[in-house]
Amino acid sequence: MSVDLAIVGLGYVGLPLAQQAARSGLSVLGFDVNQNVVDGLNSGASHIDDLSGADIAEMLASGFRATTAEADLATASTVVICVPTPLSADGGPDLGPVRSATATIARNLQPGMLVVLESTTYPGTTDEIVRPMLEAGGLEVGKDIHLAFSPERVDPGNPVYGIKNTPKVVGGSTPDCTERAAAFYGRFVDTVVTAVGTREAETAKLLENTYRHINIALVNEMARFCHELGIDLWDVIKLAKTKPFGFQAFYPGPGVGGHCIPIDPNYLSHNVRARLGYPFRFVELAQEINATMPAYVAHRAQNILNADGLATKGASVLLLGVTYKPDIADQRESPAVDLAKSLLELGAEVSFHDPHVARWHAEGQTMDRVESLDDAVANADLVMLVQHHKAYDVDALATSAKRFFDTRGVTTAPQAHRL
C-alpha cells in the first residue's frame, strides 16, 4: 500500500511533522533504526515532550505506523529526512546520520519520488552529498526524482507556533524540485516560502540561529560589566524594549542550550573556515562568550558565598531547573551541566530539583535530586535558579532561602542576587 509521506528519524523534528501531516489527512509512515522507539510509538507511547500518548493514539487511529523495515520506504511518494546532525570533533556537523539515512532511501528510491532533507547542516550538503548518493542508482534529480531542503523550525514546548502555523522555507535542487516540495508542504502548512535553491534554504536556518546566538552573547557580555558597574541590566532591557521598532529583547543566562543555538552557528563558522580559509569572527566570539557563562556564573556563586564568609568548598548548592528551556524535560546541551561541573571543581556539594527531570547526570555522575523542595531550599547554603519553570514560585523560594542567585532575572525579592 502506498503512502503520501515517509519520515526517516522519529525524534523532536520528525514526530511533530508526522503528527501535522497525519492530522491534515496524509497517509504517514515513520521509519527509525531504533526498535524501542518504533515499538513504543506503535503501542501508543511518546518519547518527546511535545507529543503526548493521546497524540500518538490519534496518529495511529489516522493510519500512522512506525517501522524499522527500510523496504517500506519504497511505497512513499515523499520521503523526509529528519535525523540529528551533532557536532563532530572538528567543530563541523557529523553527517553520519544524514549519509546513513540517504543510503537507506537510495536503496529504496522510486521514480517520481520527492526527497527532502530537514536536518540542519552546512550550505551545500543537499546538492553535494545527498544528491550524488541518490543519483548513483541511475535516477536523475529534476528529471526522474525531486530533491529539496527545508529547514526544520520546531520549537519544543512552544504553545503558539507549531508545524502548521510556522512558515516553511523550501529550496529545491531545480525550480521543478522547489515547486514540487512547496506543493507537498502546502498540503499541511499554512505558509510556504520558496528559496532560490538548496544553499539559500540551508543558510537561512543557520542565519536564524546565528542571529540569536550573537545577540545572546551580547547581553551575556553586558551582564558581566553591568554587574561590575552596579547597573541593573534587566531594567535596562525592560526600558530598551519599550521602543516599538529597531530593538528585539534578548536576555542573559547561565549559558545557551538546546539542539540549535549552541550547535548550528558552528556549522556555518566551520564551513567558512574550511572553504574560504578565514574565520566567521562574530560566531567565534559569540561562542567564546556563551561557552564561558557557566564558569562565570559559578564564580559569581563563589563570590556570594564568600561575601558571607563561607567557602565554596563544602558548601551545599541547590540548582533549580536543569533543562535547556522552561517547562519541558529536554536536557540537550543544557548549560546546567557545565555549571554543575564548575561548581564541583570549586568543591561545592551540588544537588538539583526539576519538576520535569527525575534523573540527571553531570560530570560523569548521577546528581542528587532533592525530594522536598521547601526543605532543600531552606537548608542549602546557596540556591540557584538555573531554569525558570512555571512550577516555581520564585519570589517565595528566594524569601525562604539563605541565599538565592537568580540567573534568569525573574525575582523581585530584594534579598535575591541576580545575574
Chosen domain end from 166, 196, 226: 196
Within-domain flag for 222: no
Whether 241 is covered by a domain: the verdict is no
Whether residues 297 and 184 share a domain: the answer is: no
pLDDT at 132: 98
- Is the backbone of residue 7 left (phi > 0), alpha (psi -120 to 50) or beta? beta
> Residue 364's pLDDT is what?
79
pLDDT tens-digit profile, the chain (419 residues): 699 999 999 998 999 999 999 999 999 999 999 999 999 999 999 998 889 999 999 999 999 999 999 999 999 999 999 999 887 777 677 899 999 999 999 999 999 999 999 999 889 999 999 999 999 999 999 999 999 999 999 887 788 999 999 999 999 999 999 999 999 999 999 999 999 999 999 999 999 999 999 999 999 999 999 999 999 999 999 999 999 999 999 999 998 876 666 677 777 787 788 788 888 888 889 989 999 999 999 999 999 999 999 999 999 999 999 998 888 888 888 899 999 999 999 999 999 999 999 899 887 788 889 999 999 999 999 999 999 999 999 999 999 999 999 999 999 888 899 99
The residue segments making up the domain with residue 409 are 292-419
Asked if residue 27 and residue 162 are part of one domain, the reply reads yes
Among residues 163, 196, 229, the one where a domain terminates is 196
The grid cell for 184 is 507537498
Q: Which of 133, 166, 196 is the last residue of a domain?
A: 196
Q: Within a domain: residue 126?
A: yes
Residue 91 domain-assigned (yes or no): yes
Number of compact structural domains in the chain: 2
Q: What is the DSSP string of 20-54?
A: HHHHTT--EEEE-S-HHHHHHHHTT---STT--HH
Claim to verify: residue 176 and residue 300 sit in the same structural domain? no
* Same domain flag for 37 and 171: yes
Verify that 148 and 26 share a domain, yes or no.
Answer: yes
Residues 37 and 169 in one domain: yes
CA distance 168 to 166: 6
- Clarify whether residues 16 and 123 are in a common domain: yes
| pLDDT of res. 325 | 87
Which residues are known catalytic residues? 260
Cα–Cα distances in angstroms (integers) from residue 351 to residues 292, 363, 373, 376, in the given order: 22, 13, 11, 9
Answer yes or no: do 16 and 146 share one domain: yes
Q: Does one domain contain both 309 and 183?
A: no
What's residue 172's pLDDT?
98
Burial class (CB in 10 A: 0-12, 13-18, 19+), 230: exposed
Is 177 domain-assigned?
A: yes
Same domain as 192, residue 49: yes
**CB atoms < 10 A from the CB of 390, how many?**
8
CB contact at 8 A, 271 and 284:
no
Residue 282 domain-assigned? no
Which residues are CB-neighbours of 94 under 8 A, at least 6 positions away?
Answer: 85, 86, 87, 88
* Sequence-separated (6 or more) residues with CB below 8 Å from residue 57: 44
188 with 310, same domain: the answer is no
In a domain, 235, yes or no: no
In a domain, 239, yes or no: no
In a shared domain, residues 175 and 297: no
Q: Are 171 and 202 in contact (CB under 8 A)?
A: yes
Return the H-helix or E-strand segment holding 236.
helix 233-240
pLDDT value of position 203:
94
CATH number of the domain encompassing residue 344: 3.40.50.720
